[in-house]
Structure 1
Amino acid sequence: MDFGRLITAMVTPFDEQLNIDWEMTGKLIDYLIDEQKSDSLVISGTTGESPTLTDEEKVALFQFSVKHAAGRCKIIAGTGSNETAHSVKLTKLAEQAGADGILLVTPYYNRPSQEGIYQHFRTIAEATTLPVILYNVPSRTVVSLSVETTLRLAQIPNIVATKECASLEQMTEIVSGAPEGFILYSGDDAITLPSLSVGGYGIISVASHLIGEKMKELISAYLDGRVKEATEINAQCFPYFKGLFNCPNPVPNPVAVKYALTLRGLPVGSVRLPLVTVNDTEAKFLQNLVKA
């Protein structure tokens, strides 16, 4: 399964009552495929507000996205949680819904050991035939998936990739030790280019909601050996990489990108509590960013 170089972790559109807006969800999928050139979409990831989606909403999103994308891009279902049995259940439902793969975040809050993390991912992977992408984001989960555990998990046939947010050093070590066919995605837009330089395959992105086509050009330029051009494109993209998470104060993902999409004419709605929308200062910053 080739998920491509540019994967967008898609927001979940809500209506005024904060229910899923199905019409806008379809429009957003079309926009991300046709205009922003996404190769794959992560549905119900952190950017999609997975912590506040019910299981029924998640499964409905998987089913809708598979049907609407109709093979134009791959659909990756976010089925990770800090309960192994729950993740197995969601993963099986995602497989039944027709998802092309799953994204599994490192278990959060209960702080398992590396052996516990390994057994968690192994158990879920063995419960499905779908390809699995691991997701290491210690800033959100407290625990970090070590290089050694990542490489151990990479030996499991259907664990095919990792989304890495720990450090460029850790990315380098994973790429150096990974078996053939196991690939690494950056989970941080700001280090898309550096991660490619150490052997990363692509990016699972938030900024691609707004500058996906430009990011695709960055990746292509680097892979084609046009490093100076890639560096120039990276400089053009960097205000978005930084601004969508610090506008001008640090804001949680997906608060800023949902507001920015609305400014672009895609009213994807607000966010569910405990997230809150941007304040006046942040809104003004994003208005200037999107107009630039």
Structure 2
Amino acid sequence: MVTPFKADGSVDYAEAVRLANHLADNGTDTVLLSGTTGESPTLTHEEEMILFREVKQGLGGKAKVMAGTGSNSTRTAVAMTKKAGELGLDGALLVVPYYNKPSQEGLYQHFKAVNDAADLPLVIYNIPGRTSRNMECETTLRLAELSNYVAVKEASGDLEQMKKIVAAAPRDFVLYSGDDNLTLDVLRLGGVGVVSVAAQLVGPQMKKMLDAYFAGDLETAEAMDKDLQDIFQVIFITTNPAPVKAALNMRGFHCGIPRLPLVDLTEDEREQVRQALIKHGLL
């Protein structure tokens, strides 16, 4: 989920609750706060804690709430994950440490430290395009044996790597697509769902596509996937979350613009987003 900002750049917690309820009412099972799309790099820890608390209370159990608590500092990741557990959240998403470029053993020890301190379900987030480090299949499988890791969000784009993880992981450890446009491909490999950006715009359609796939209606799932590809593409015409924030603003939400160093869309980019929304009857 995006983090809505007011005109002065402060977090709009009331609008965050409104958007979270909209998502819960339109096919989302779990709302992820302070992930990449939520602009975690530019939120303060205090803002994150307020956001977690307000959305958890504001949803009233309509959907689960997951907190992005990852960091390139192991101590920070441990502390934030423990706080998320104390707030009663349903899970935490831990991104591969960025910038430091740790070895695979360093990655394992980082995630193990969080596991040993945590008291809630944990999801690994592998996104080498953002972190400059890929968590290799063998490292993911080592972590899958630990007590609190229940899933991996794979945004590596490496379908072969995902296939290996699914084939060798314990039965209670699952894989989610981290890319909307690869969702159906990941399901075919044995994935169980998607941590979606596009669902903020086409939640019912995404839910219908997944339901059709798991019901064995591959024709419907494939047709819907094909139909949604232009939405998947347009929300990444520039750095996420600028396009999806602009789209949500067009649809009547008040999400503001990204915090620097990210910037708002150009007029040309805005028009591309607008036309995609019009095509899908969203404006």
The answer, yes or no, to whether TM exceeds 0.5 is yes
The 5 A counterparts of 1:57-68 are 57-68=47-58
Give aligned pairs, total.
278
Structure 2 partner of 1:146: 136
Please tell me the residue identity of whatever aligns with 2:106: G
Q: Which runs of 4+ in 1 moved over 2 A?
A: none
For 1:70 and 1:156, the matched residues in 2 are separated by 30
TM-score, reference length from structure 1: 0.94
Q: Which runs of 5+ in 1 are unaligned?
A: 1-9
For 1:222 and 1:23, the matched residues in 2 are separated by 35
The 5 A counterparts of 1:1-292 are 10-34=1-25, 36-166=26-156, 167-246=158-237, 251-292=238-279
Q: For each residue in 1:120-146, what CA deviation from the matched residue of structure 2 results, as whole angstroms up to 9, or x when unmatched? A: 000001101100000000000000000
For 1:80 and 1:23, the matched residues in 2 are separated by 24
SS at match of 1:72: coil
Please tell me the residue identity of whatever aligns with 1:57: E
For 1:29 and 1:150, the matched residues in 2 are separated by 30
**Alpha carbons 2:124, 2:152 under 8 Å: kept:** yes
SS at match of 2:135: coil
Task: Provide the alpha-carbon RMSD of the alignment.
Answer: 0.7
Q: For each residue in 1:246-277, what CA deviation from the matched residue of structure 2 results, as whole angstroms up to 9, or x when unmatched? A: 2xxxx111000000001111121111000000
SS at match of 2:194: strand
Please tell me the residue identity of whatever aligns with 2:222: T
SS at match of 1:185: strand
SS at match of 1:153: helix
CA shift at 1:92, angstroms?
A: 1.2
CA shift at 1:151, angstroms?
A: 0.3
Q: Which has the higher contact order (CA 8 A, sep 6+)?
A: 1
Please tell me the residue identity of whatever aligns with 2:90: D
Please tell me the residue identity of whatever aligns with 2:123: I
SS at match of 1:205: coil
For 2:44 and 2:57, the matched residues in 1 are separated by 20
Please tell me the residue identity of whatever aligns with 2:241: P
TM-score, reference length from structure 2: 0.97
CA shift at 1:23, angstroms?
A: 1.9
For 2:179 and 2:159, the matched residues in 1 are separated by 10
**Alpha carbons 2:35, 2:68 under 8 Å: kept:** yes
SS at match of 1:196: helix
Q: Which runs of 5+ in 2 are unaligned?
A: none
**Alpha carbons 2:121, 2:149 under 8 Å: kept:** yes
For 1:87 and 1:97, the matched residues in 2 are separated by 15
Q: For each residue in 1:161-204, what CA deviation from the matched residue of structure 2 results, as whole angstroms up to 9, or x when unmatched? A: 00001211111000000011100000000000010001001000
For 2:140 and 2:168, the matched residues in 1 are separated by 10
**Alpha carbons 2:159, 2:186 under 8 Å: kept:** yes
SS at match of 2:20: helix
For 2:119 and 2:16, the matched residues in 1 are separated by 27
Q: For each residue in 1:203-256, what CA deviation from the matched residue of structure 2 results, as whole angstroms up to 9, or x when unmatched? A: 00000000111011111111111111111011111111111102xxxx111000
SS at match of 1:269: coil
CA shift at 1:51, angstroms?
A: 0.2
SS at match of 1:30: helix
**Alpha carbons 2:82, 2:119 under 8 Å: kept:** no
